[in-house]
Structure 1
Amino acid sequence: MVSEGKEQAIEHLSKADLAFIAVLINVEGGLAKGHDKPRNSYGLKFENIKIVRGHTNRTADGTHFEYSQSPKGLKFKIENESDEQIKQAAEDDEVKEPKEGNTYVAILKNENNIEILVEINPHDISEIIQSARDKETTT
């Protein structure tokens, strides 16, 4: 699921080996095949990519990445809730999907696949980068 906010971005960036910040300009999606649980799979195209962790040697097409997530939210059991109530709440839970025109921090598994997406306000970019660096040096 796409996360949101600078606090989430800073937390994920401080632990990332490979990450960038960029504007999402194109989303192509569909149901991924071959998974035990249903997954939404996306082809994402970014522009203005700023690498903030690690190094990537992508030269052929450095703007396209793959990303997948659960199509439904996760619901944890609260005291006195039945299993049926939990199942219904999880199905009703809206999952935030990647949206064109938004700015994201992308944490990558490898040069082609995004593991975590965090939607951010573009005005927070310098603060996110600095805070992630500060947090990395203190841990």
Structure 2
Amino acid sequence: MVSEGKEHAVQHLSKAELAFIAVLFDVQASLADGHEKKQNVYQLTFENIKTVRGHLDRTADGTVFHYRQAPKGLKFKIEDETEEQVQQAAEDDEVKEPKEGKTYVAILTDAEHIEILVEINPHDISEIVQSARDKETATI
């Protein structure tokens, strides 16, 4: 799930082995069957990539990454709730999707697959990078 804010970004960055900050240029989305449930599958193209953890080899198509997430939050029926209340709660729990033109911290599992996306304010980039470094050195 796409999360938001510099606090989430710093938290994930401080534990990441491979990560970058970049502007999302293009989103190609589709739906795929996962092992247990359906998932949204994305092909994300980034520009202005700044690697902040690990090393990414930049190739001609190296700005394209793959990302998966559940299409909606999960809401289970609680006793005394009507079907309409359950439906409304599930819709209110809509999962945030990657959006073109936004800036993200991307935590990767490898050079092609993003595990975690955090939408950030571009003005917070230097603070996020510094805070993540401070947290990393504090835990060593």
TM-score by length of 1: 0.88
Structure 2: tracts of 5 or more residues without a match: none
Q: Residues 34 and 6 from structure 1, CA distance in 2 versus in 1: closer, same or farther, beyond 3 angstroms?
A: closer
2:56 equivalent in structure 1? 56
The answer to whether residue 79 in structure 2 is matched with residue 82 in structure 1 is yes
Structure 1 vs Structure 2 CA RMSD: 2.1
Q: CA deviation at 1:8?
A: 0.3
Q: CA deviation at 1:75?
A: 4.9
The answer to whether residue 12 in structure 2 is matched with residue 6 in structure 1 is no
Q: CA deviation at 1:32?
A: 1.6
Q: Deviation per CA, 1:88-136, whole angstroms, max 9, x where unpaired?
A: 4335411100000000000001110000000000000000000000001
Separation in structure 2 between the aligned mates of residue 84 and residue 58 of structure 1, nearest angstrom: 52
Bigger CA drift: 27-36 or 16-25?
A: 27-36
Separation in structure 1 between the aligned mates of residue 16 and residue 86 of structure 2, nearest angstrom: 32
1:129 equivalent in structure 2? 129
CA contact (8 A) 2:27 2:45 kept: yes
2:28 equivalent in structure 1? 28
Q: What percentage of residue pairs aligned between the two structures are identical?
A: 74
In the comparison of the two structures, how many residue pairs are matched? Answer: 136
TM-score by length of 2: 0.88
Bigger CA drift: 50-59 or 97-106?
A: 50-59
Separation in structure 1 between the aligned mates of residue 119 and residue 111 of structure 2, nearest angstrom: 20
Q: Residues 71 and 127 from structure 1, CA distance in 2 versus in 1: closer, same or farther, beyond 3 angstroms?
A: same
Structure 1: tracts of 5 or more residues without a match: none
Q: Deviation per CA, 1:51-74, whole angstroms, max 9, x where unpaired?
A: 000012242411000001000114
- For 2:19, give the aligned amino acid: A
SS of residue in 2 equivalent to 1:32: strand
Separation in structure 2 between the aligned mates of residue 83 and residue 55 of structure 1, nearest angstrom: 53
Bigger CA drift: 27-36 or 103-112?
A: 27-36
